[in-house]
Structure 1
Amino acid sequence: MDRPELADFLRRARARLDPSDVGLPPGARRRTPGLRREEVAALAGMSADYYTRLEQSRGPRPSRQMLTALARALRLTEDERDHLFHLAGEEAPRREATSTHVGPGLLLVLDRLHDTPALVTTDCGEVLAQNALSRALSGDVLARPPRERNLVRRYFLDPSTHGPFPPEDRPARAREQVANLRAVAAARPTDPVPAALVAELLAGSEEFARLWAEHEVAVRRVSTKRFLHPAVGLLELDCEVLVNADTHQHLVVHTARPGTESYERLQLLRVVGMQDMSAAAPGHQV
């Protein structure tokens, strides 16, 4: 681990970011350019003291999970992320056909969607990033262990994730997810990621196996979803899916039509979302 070079790289990456780049309000006048250390720490989910020690060349060696969180918080490109790993004495993540690294441009779009829940997933349902309103609506998915961040896996293997959906909507939700995964697996027959997920779900879920056997195919693009939120009630949201074909990543945006009750409730959720909604709704899924 090259502590001096790591510290210098972190300081420079932090200095080039404005608060608006990461969805933060500008706040009071800043004496120096860039984000504050505590802001980077909060974005990465670590203590401010730990991050400060890294920038002062006296911190312990970061874990791979922590390096991934720092790369996301600092809006690093894939090459910069690899450099960060190398400075920490770690092998850079292998570049898979399905990338789990969200580029700074897509993160910038995500952060600027202040008034609508939005998140980035892989086409297999792995959550890679969320904005604040998405966390308020569905809980902080990235706070869960890595295996619990896949929405398809959680839906079929963890019944607690069914809570935010009205019971009458759940069969359609299940069918939609299976049909999308069928399309993904067929499009990339040599990719082990969708194949392994399908095998796991076939072995662990009778519902998934039954739906899989029906061989329905439908790529996820536009739909309407209803969410039962514990604080604001029922929301009917239009779901748009924007696809990055190169990385197999999806930007999923939920909007409410102006003038509807769901629109008013979504505005209320923006206020409620200032609190930590993860504890209030641990079983939520987007």
Structure 2
Amino acid sequence: MNDIPSYFIYGETPRPLDIGFLHVELISQRQHIHHGRAEPHMHEQMAQVTFWTEGGGTYLIEDKSLDFSAPAVSFVPSHVVHGFDVRANSDAVVISIADSVLPLVAASSLLPLDRPIMLRSERFDATWERMRALMLMAQEEYLTGQPGVEKIVLPLAATVLSFMARLSSQAAIMRSAGPLALASELKRLIDLHFREDRSVGDYVGMLGSTPHLVAKAATLVHGKGVKELINDRRLLEAKRLLLFTVRTVEDIAYETGFKDPAYFSRFFRQRTGEPPGVWRVGQHAGAPVGGNARP
């Protein structure tokens, strides 16, 4: 394929989302479309919480392939490539939340919502049963079609995400509203402009802030400097295109904002230990990666 597919809901052509868009369904409801295998794709305007209640298989998040057996749970923000290949009779509840609504969920969630995460049960913990019950409750409530469904489903989703934070040992992250808002907007701008090879000063200007405040917010919330965040985004896009398209390395270099393909190759090798072409071959030939992981 030449481009990574983008969908509204899986299998449906992208379209503008209504303000406050919310959708809940079972994976099995689209069995006639995916037949247990959802090819790598993304959603441009919404995030998804997915809780696997039955079965198992392999779940893809960017360049990580994660083997799992239910129960398992993931959070995938918009613009993140993901997919799955699962056994017969596997099922999951999926809550799709518009980016415009996500700040409301984030305000009640202990889990940072700016990056993907997948967790799998490795030992008995009552938290898994609680999450299962909450996700099934969200699905049942959504099916009622009653007014105010979002006022019930969104808090349920936020609670599941908070349980995920507990399980992933990230509940201790401290955030303040000012730096969080600034860092979130910085990340949004990087997603929009990373292909344009803009300077750190350009982003500071777009944010209407100061270099010190932007750097402080980036480090506090993301744990990295602004330049490193820009480079991470360019590297992520390069990996996506290497893994999921047949574009040449030279084409990918230009697509990710590099004017010199040779410099792109050095940039990529410094961060992965391999030239882009060698990395691509190794990823296509390699075994799935295990472990609860963030790409």
Per the normalisation by structure 2, the TM-score is 0.29
Q: Which structure is higher in strand share?
A: 2
Per the normalisation by structure 1, the TM-score is 0.30
